[in-house]
Structure 1
Amino acid sequence: MDERQLRILRELGELGSVSAVADALLVTPSAISQQLRLLQSTMPVPLTERQGRRLVLTDAGQALAAAAVGVETALERARHAVQEFVGRTDAEVSVAAFHSAGAAFFPPLLHALAGPGMPRLALADEDVAQEDFPRLTRAYDLVLAHRLEHAPPWPATVAAATLLREPLDVALPAGHRLAAKRRLSPRDVAGEPWITVHDGFPVLAVIDAIAAAAGRRPHLAHRINEFAVVAEVVAAGGGIALMPRWTMRPHPDLVLRPLGGVQARRHIDVLCRPERTARTAVRTVLAELRRAAHAISRRDSGERDTGERDTGERDTERAGGSST
């Protein structure tokens, strides 16, 4: 049985004829009769009987019609509860991010949504390989994910929007011989010992591109995903590394230099299951993520303009703070 069939039975008990029910529900009498037959097929006893030319409810039919009132009431309460849930502005919204995105986006989110009536954030770090991010949308409302510029798109099962297209620069110790150059080429860096990420993370594909462009395989000295650790290892002379330009905290002993000759850029995308965006609170958090991304890119643009006038120092002497 379904809600529509129960309502028809209830209306039949109140209105007294199939034609009257059809008029009330704006359907044909044959459609009403068909639904009554389908309902009857699920019951072990007759629900209706003929009295002359009229179809009336049996005792069992009257009992089920009375129960239908409770069913409709419960369903209406359920609909109201869903509408209230969808429309609540202060509902909890769970957000997961890989480490460097969390470091960049979590603080502005917390500040922007701190007032009364705002969504309640439940933040989590999830540093996974690119292919595993879509699965996280089962557990979280919004997922900040990374992928390279020309990587395959996310699967159609998730909704995706790009927040940032972030350059990946070469991080060097401040006293490194290459730090005097404003821009580096694959040949400049291919012979250096590298600190890079584990398999499955987008930075590694850029290392492969450097190898192809330079015609030699770089030496991968260390495999470290956490950029805070990478920054310290670079500063200590353990090698050079690729680090994101924008989602970074300053490190006094490092310089960043842009890399030419290869595509060295990653996307920071926000993923979710499409139905999650029906919630007002989720849409509010999405809007704040976009505002934060805009602020990050505008801030960096201003710094780069100044850095170009000052031989690149202000832009490129930034590194540190978070993982892929």
Structure 2
Amino acid sequence: MELRHLELMRDLEHYGSLTAVARATFRTPSAVSQQLRTAQRDLRVPLVEPDGRGVRLTEAGRILAEGCTDVAAALERVQARWDAFRDDLSGTVSIASLPSAATFLMARVFRALDDTGIEIVIHDHDVAEAQFASLAAEVDIVIGHSLTGRRPAGTDGLTVVALAREPLDVAMAAGHRLAGQARIRPDDLLDCEWIGVPVGYPFDTVRLAIESATGASLRIQQRLRDNRLIESLVASSECVAILPRFTTPNGGGLVLRELEGVPATRYVSAILRPDKAERRAVRRVLDELRRAGAAGPLDYASVRSVAESTDRVEPGS
């Protein structure tokens, strides 16, 4: 039994097809198919079976895929102990993060790690909640969010570390008719026009909760992903939106009001493959992410003092 056979089963389980595995591992489909044939010949048991136009793992294949996770985690634990023995806290840690979460987390993390040998490469990804788990195969740490709990949808079998609990508020122009209220209830919003987010994104869960509480449908004028764009449109119109409290400017024509009567909190979490969670450098970055999350909103005046320490960041593509 060879580790490369186990890794192939794990990749097939994750990506779902030989073509997707080839694309993710920078090989040709024929090379992946040849490796699969070799694995089945060496192990003398079918590892995949037809599934529509593709294939799926047999029970034997699933056993090997699960075994790969165990073996990879064990190897990383040994590497972590070896690094500790050599007092070596270094290496590159790749992070894929929801931009609004990275905004209040990463400046503190960069500052805390400035005098270590750890280099962070960060990629910004704004995807639906169920898609964060798929990024865990590509990077060391994924920072995602959920409105339903600390474990985002689709993360079964992955390590999930809670980082922060952030209120979501109703954003509106300073001159909006509801701006004089300290809190907003679902019934107050029935006559409003909305700037929403795509269906499947966590903030849309608040819209669904408001509709469930009122029995009415909200009028969604636009569905956008970029919070800065949403802020601009809301501040210059009569529309309202749901935006995160920690990173949305409250002032300059835009105000935030607490929403009561429905769940309006997002859970920000780190998502990792179990083997990657064993790396010493990754564990240190996770510790700093937890500290940054516990500290709450970032004082943006302090960002200038750490700007020079972030020149080692390599922007993601």
TM-score scaled by length of structure 1: 0.64
Q: Evaluate the alpha carbon distance shift between residue 152 and residue 145 of structure 1 in structure 2; reply closer, same or farther with a 3 A threshold.
A: closer
Q: Where does structure 1 differ by over 6 angstroms across 4 or more consecutive aligned residues?
A: none
- 1:121 alignment partner AA: I
- 2:132 alignment partner AA: F
Aligned pairs for 1:43-122 within 5 A: 82=79, 87=84, 88-115=88-115, 117-122=116-121
For 1:133 and 1:238, locate their aligned partners in 2 and report how far apart those are by CA, in whole Å. Answer: 33
Q: Give 1:291 shift.
A: 0.7
Q: Percent identity?
A: 34
SS at match of 1:160: strand
Q: 2:246 matched to which residue of 1?
A: 246
Q: Give 1:109 shift.
A: 1.4
For 1:210 and 1:134, locate their aligned partners in 2 and report how far apart those are by CA, in whole Å. Answer: 27
Q: Give 1:156 shift.
A: 2.5
Residue pair 1:277, 1:283 contacting (<8 A) in 2 also: yes
Query: Which shifted more, 155-164 or 119-128?
Result: 155-164
- 2:117 alignment partner AA: M
Q: 2:197 matched to which residue of 1?
A: 197
Q: Deviations over 1:22-62 (max 9, x none)?
A: xxxxxxxxxxxxxxxxxxxx9xxxxxxxxxxxxxxxxxxxx
For 1:152 and 1:142, locate their aligned partners in 2 and report how far apart those are by CA, in whole Å. Answer: 14
For 1:242 and 1:92, locate their aligned partners in 2 and report how far apart those are by CA, in whole Å. Answer: 35
Q: Whose relative contact order is higher, 1 or 2, with alpha carbons under 8 Å and at least 6 apart?
A: 2
Q: Deviations over 1:103-159 (max 9, x none)?
A: 1112111111111x3311111101111111111011110110011135865532210
Q: Evaluate the alpha carbon distance shift between residue 275 and residue 152 of structure 1 in structure 2; reply closer, same or farther with a 3 A threshold.
A: closer
Q: Give 1:249 shift.
A: 4.0
SS at match of 1:258: strand
- 1:138 alignment partner AA: A
Q: 2:259 matched to which residue of 1?
A: 259
Residue pair 1:94, 1:140 contacting (<8 A) in 2 also: yes
For 1:186 and 1:296, locate their aligned partners in 2 and report how far apart those are by CA, in whole Å. Answer: 26
Q: 2:284 matched to which residue of 1?
A: 284
For 1:203 and 1:289, locate their aligned partners in 2 and report how far apart those are by CA, in whole Å. Answer: 22
- 1:252 alignment partner AA: G
SS at match of 2:290: helix
SS at match of 1:140: coil
Q: Evaluate the alpha carbon distance shift between residue 265 and residue 138 of structure 1 in structure 2; reply closer, same or farther with a 3 A threshold.
A: same
Q: Deviations over 1:213-234 (max 9, x none)?
A: 1221110011111111100000
SS at match of 1:180: coil
Q: Evaluate the alpha carbon distance shift between residue 126 and residue 85 of structure 1 in structure 2; reply closer, same or farther with a 3 A threshold.
A: farther
SS at match of 1:266: strand
For 2:113 and 2:145, locate their aligned partners in 1 and report how far apart those are by CA, in whole Å. Answer: 24
SS at match of 1:163: strand
Q: 2:23 matched to which residue of 1?
A: none
Gaps of 5+ in 2: 3-41, 43-74, 300-317
Q: 1:136 matched to which residue of 2?
A: 135
Q: CA RMSD in A?
A: 2.7
What is the total number of aligned residue pairs between the two structures? 223
SS at match of 2:286: helix
Q: 1:187 matched to which residue of 2?
A: 187
Residue pair 2:166, 2:265 contacting (<8 A) in 1 also: yes
Residue pair 2:246, 2:298 contacting (<8 A) in 1 also: no
Q: Evaluate the alpha carbon distance shift between residue 292 and residue 278 of structure 1 in structure 2; reply closer, same or farther with a 3 A threshold.
A: same
Q: 2:125 matched to which residue of 1?
A: 126
Aligned pairs for 1:18-37 within 5 A: none
For 2:79 and 2:114, locate their aligned partners in 1 and report how far apart those are by CA, in whole Å. Answer: 25
Query: Which shifted more, 100-109 or 286-295?
Result: 100-109
For 1:247 and 1:98, locate their aligned partners in 2 and report how far apart those are by CA, in whole Å. Answer: 12
SS at match of 1:177: coil
Residue pair 1:194, 1:219 contacting (<8 A) in 2 also: yes
Q: Evaluate the alpha carbon distance shift between residue 135 and residue 153 of structure 1 in structure 2; reply closer, same or farther with a 3 A threshold.
A: closer
For 2:79 and 2:284, locate their aligned partners in 1 and report how far apart those are by CA, in whole Å. Answer: 18
Q: 1:158 matched to which residue of 2?
A: 158
Q: Evaluate the alpha carbon distance shift between residue 114 and residue 152 of structure 1 in structure 2; reply closer, same or farther with a 3 A threshold.
A: closer
- 1:140 alignment partner AA: V
Residue pair 1:154, 1:160 contacting (<8 A) in 2 also: no
Q: Give 1:248 shift.
A: 3.0
SS at match of 1:137: helix
Q: Evaluate the alpha carbon distance shift between residue 84 and residue 152 of structure 1 in structure 2; reply closer, same or farther with a 3 A threshold.
A: closer
For 2:80 and 2:166, locate their aligned partners in 1 and report how far apart those are by CA, in whole Å. Answer: 38
1:229 maps onto 2:229 in alignment: yes
Q: Deviations over 1:251-272 (max 9, x none)?
A: 5111100111111111111100
SS at match of 1:114: coil
Q: Give 1:245 shift.
A: 1.0
